[in-house]
Structure 1
Amino acid sequence: MSASTTDVALQHYAELDRRLLAAVRGIRILPTVAWPASLEDRMIADYSKGRFALPQVDYVRPDLAAARAELAAIEAAAGGADAADIDPLGDYLRRTAESWRIAAEMLESVGTSGFAAPSIVLYGRPDDAIPGSQRSNLDAARYFVELSDELGADLLADDISVNVPADELRADLAATLDAFFGAGTIKVEVDPELTAKAAAGATRIRLRGGTCFSEYDRHQLLAHEAFVHSLTALNGRRQPLLASLARTSPRVTATQEGLAVFAELMSGAIDIARLKRISLRILAIDMALNGADFVEVYRYFSACGQSAADSFHSAQRVFRGVPPGGGVAFAKDNVYLSGLLTVHTFFRWALKQRRMDLLRHLFAGKLTLHDVVALQPHFASGAILPPRWLPPWMQHVHGLAGKLAFSVFINGIHMSRVQGDELLHGG
């Protein structure tokens, strides 16, 4: 292909990318399914006193017909699912437009049982198989919950006080991020309306007001929110060809959240209680899909040791956008554990292939694991830039390689075949 032909093709994809971003401007998943803080506060107070009733949430259902039509047109113009020899850029745009179109269909069903099916298409089911394994996401969730419960008594002495007010943490995070990214690049704010404990965009991290945080929370926010979600968004903003690489499309959610939890693991910012919380949400999604209602799911979280407020917020995550009577769920929280396991496997695979470049390119924007491999010709040509920033743990390549090399080898040791007395001989 000649240089002029290549330039024309790149311009075509850049134009489709601009159309894509314009089309999805009104598709806002989490704001559409958010519950009013006043409702949460009232119901948490009632639930803590044993007064249970199913939440009544009124959602504003968006009209996204025009957006869906434009996204379908972009899919076709990018090459279509059946197109032969489609360029990786075209395939990226087609897949991304398709995921946004499914998200639009999902949001137009908000508050109804029809919301659940497209959310499962986007985020998967708890019983989906883990790549490279015969076990499912649900099996992994049960394993981590059981392990956490078994270790719980031994870990109590290691419990960390939750005594850092949101305003104090805000100032601390702001100073750390100014030193890493440059002064004012990322603002840290306290938001009393936020449902999650924290949320991150390219240039803003929000903390839930009225909440105290632990030192583990601080490490986790830096590793997960700042050095993955914000970092990949900032790197995506530097891309000259695909501006959409700065935006988290529905199809990249699993990789983004998996990479963020993997970052916690690599930087020592995750504890067994955090793995248990992630796993409990998957078990709760499975419960809801199998008929459990909001109150039953709340009681499940409460029985697992969560406070009234945390149990409510955990159940709320499962029932955002869907009727609270059971049989349906919002599947998004399925991706945290499945994404972690898939990303971990990808890192090990890339090391085995001696392709550390693939791991660095994963931070160049909001990409799936498939994208990182498929788009390598465009990284090589310079059409897609390598990342400007890498997380601190990715900057120490030898240390990362050491951890991964060990895990690649140790994975061949099957614990079911290990006898305890074998380990004690020769001591």
Structure 2
Amino acid sequence: MAKANYQGQVKHLSDRLIELQKPIRILDAIKWPARFERDFLASGGTSLPPADLRYYQGIDLGFDPDILRDRFLNLRGEVRRKLGRNDGLGGILCSTIDQYLLVIELLRTRGSADFGRYSQQLYGSARDHLRGDRKSLRQLGEKLCEIFSLPGAGHLTRPYEKNIPATEAVSILSQRLGQYFQPGDIRVILSDGIVSDAAAGGDYIKINQDVDFTEFDLQVLEVHEGWVHVGTTINGRRQPWASWLSVGSPRVTACQEGLAVLMETLTFSSYPRRALKVSDRVVAVDMAEQGADFIEVYRFFCERGLPPADSYKITQRVFRGGTLRGGSVFTKDLSYLRGFVENVNFIRSSIHSGVPEILPMLFVGKVTLDDIPVLYEHYLEGTIEGPHYIPAMFRDLNGLYVWFGFASGISVINMARVQKHFHKLFSDIPKVAPLYDKVIDSAVD
């Protein structure tokens, strides 16, 4: 097939995929209203939210599942006929279509035992093993919960208060993101219609008008929602042929969320409580998958020291769409930790394999790690356009190469022996208020 004809076919099929997926809104189809939280907390955490099968049946999907399923199946057949069964970009398109077919079944089964089965097919299970390792996500999540719950973690974040109102947060983020994006490419707006603190859309970030923020919160939103989620969307929209890279099915969720958490880390924007939240989500999913009900998971986090409102939020994220008795739950929150580990290992492997130049393709659009070699090949021949918005450390890879090169080398060291040596030094340190408080005070004076 001539190059121009091939590119035209990719564009036509991509645009059709974008059009078909438009009415699918997973989170809107399983969301809970704010009154559920108010009533639950008012009951002292004893009265289950009324999120049963009847409740979900009352939320209109905005599409006919059978009709949409048939249209996706027709598109999959057309992709195979026009691009061929062995075409790389065609394979990605078909895999994306298969994901949307699963999503239709996921939403069709809201509030039932089957919902959890489809969720596991889309997002995985907490008992899944990490790629290339024997440890499960739950085991890693527990280990990280332990690390981020150490006394020192609380000392570090104690001086940072939620004293930035939403209106000021909008102004600060608009100014900062204006230095990363071109004028008009992104908006930061107030919203009274979201449950979370903030949410990213195609070219905007919504800020909950009823929430106050810390400086750390704004740093996280800048790189997580702005650089990664909005940035990859805009990069996908700039594709001349592969327009589907601007939209994300669940198959890209782990790569997207993991990359966003990784960027928080590489820019030193994250903080222990934030990292603990990511780890807690894995534990919550596993408990619910293994049969703990809504109240049991909620009480578990209350007993761990989380405030009731925070315990509710982490619990409802897992139980939305499924059954409150446990077993059938929404496993999307595994994506943050799974994706972080997989992105780190992808970067390290690209360095060991001698192809670090492939790394900017992480930002080319909504992708999975397995897509990137195929996309890079088509980038070299001109069908895929390179990413326009790329964080500085991925534009000039020297520092990133050295960082991950050292990390890979140090990984061969026996950390148990190292910790044993330094533990002797640390064990005699007086347990007093952290010295940085005095440094901060003197700086303010």
Q: TM-score, normalised by structure 1?
A: 0.92
Q: How many angstroms does 1:416 deviate by? A: 3.6
Q: Which position in structure 2 is the counterpart of 1:55?
A: 49
> Matched residue of 1:179: which SS?
coil
Which 10-residue stretch deviates more, 386-395 or 253-262?
A: 386-395
Q: Which position in structure 2 is the counterpart of 1:208?
A: 208
Aligned residue type for 1:53: S
| 2:17 corresponds to 1:20 | yes
Q: Which position in structure 2 is the counterpart of 1:33?
A: 30
Matched ranges for 1:89-168 at <5 A: 89-149=89-149, 151-153=150-152, 155-159=154-158, 160-168=160-168
Runs of 4+ in 1 over 6 A off after TM superposition: 422-425
> Matched residue of 2:180: which SS?
helix
Distance in 2 (CA, whole Å) between partners of 1:395 and 1:8 is 32
Distance in 2 (CA, whole Å) between partners of 1:415 and 1:84 is 50
Matched ranges for 1:380-391 at <5 A: 380-391=380-391
Pair 1:296–1:199, CA change in 2 (3 A): same
Distance in 2 (CA, whole Å) between partners of 1:221 and 1:398 is 26
Asked if 2 retains the 8 angstrom alpha-carbon contact of 1:110 and 1:322, the reply is: yes
Corresponding residue pairs, total: 416
> Matched residue of 1:89: which SS?
helix
Q: TM-score, normalised by structure 2?
A: 0.89
Aligned residue type for 1:123: Y
Structure 2: gaps (5+ residues): 426-445
Superposed CA offset, 1:198-254 (max 9, x none): 111221101222111111111111111101001000111100111111111111011
Which 10-residue stretch deviates more, 24-33 or 207-216?
A: 207-216
Pair 1:25–1:412, CA change in 2 (3 A): same
Distance in 2 (CA, whole Å) between partners of 1:301 and 1:135 is 23
Superposed CA offset, 1:303-327 (max 9, x none): 2222221111111100111121222
Distance in 1 (CA, whole Å) between partners of 2:156 and 2:380 is 51
Q: How many angstroms does 1:377 deviate by? A: 2.0
Pair 1:108–1:355, CA change in 2 (3 A): same
Matched ranges for 1:13-412 at <5 A: 13-44=10-41, 46-47=42-43, 50-57=44-51, 58-59=55-56, 60=59, 62=61, 63-79=64-80, 86-149=86-149, 151-153=150-152, 155-159=154-158, 160-412=160-412
Q: What is the root-mean-square deviation in Å for CA atoms of aligned residues?
A: 2.1
Asked if 1 retains the 8 angstrom alpha-carbon contact of 2:292 and 2:327, the reply is: yes
Superposed CA offset, 1:103-139 (max 9, x none): 1110111122221111111111111111121111111
> Matched residue of 2:48: which SS?
coil
Structure 1: gaps (5+ residues): none
Distance in 1 (CA, whole Å) between partners of 2:213 and 2:371 is 36
Q: How many angstroms does 1:14 deviate by? A: 2.1
> Matched residue of 2:46: which SS?
coil
Pair 1:419–1:143, CA change in 2 (3 A): closer
Asked if 2 retains the 8 angstrom alpha-carbon contact of 1:61 and 1:110, the reply is: no
Which 10-residue stretch deviates more, 337-346 or 275-284?
A: 275-284
Matched residues, percent identical?
33
Q: How many angstroms does 1:329 deviate by? A: 1.0
Superposed CA offset, 1:11-58 (max 9, x none): 2222221221111111111111111123333333x15xx251111032
| 2:3 corresponds to 1:6 | yes
Distance in 2 (CA, whole Å) between partners of 1:51 and 1:364 is 44
Aligned residue type for 1:246: S
> Matched residue of 2:164: which SS?
strand
Q: How many angstroms does 1:61 deviate by? A: 5.0
Q: Which position in structure 1 is the counterpart of 2:432?
A: none
Q: How many angstroms does 1:296 deviate by? A: 1.1
Superposed CA offset, 1:231-288 (max 9, x none): 0001111001111111111110110001111111111112222221111111111111
Distance in 2 (CA, whole Å) between partners of 1:18 and 1:422 is 58
Aligned residue type for 1:119: S
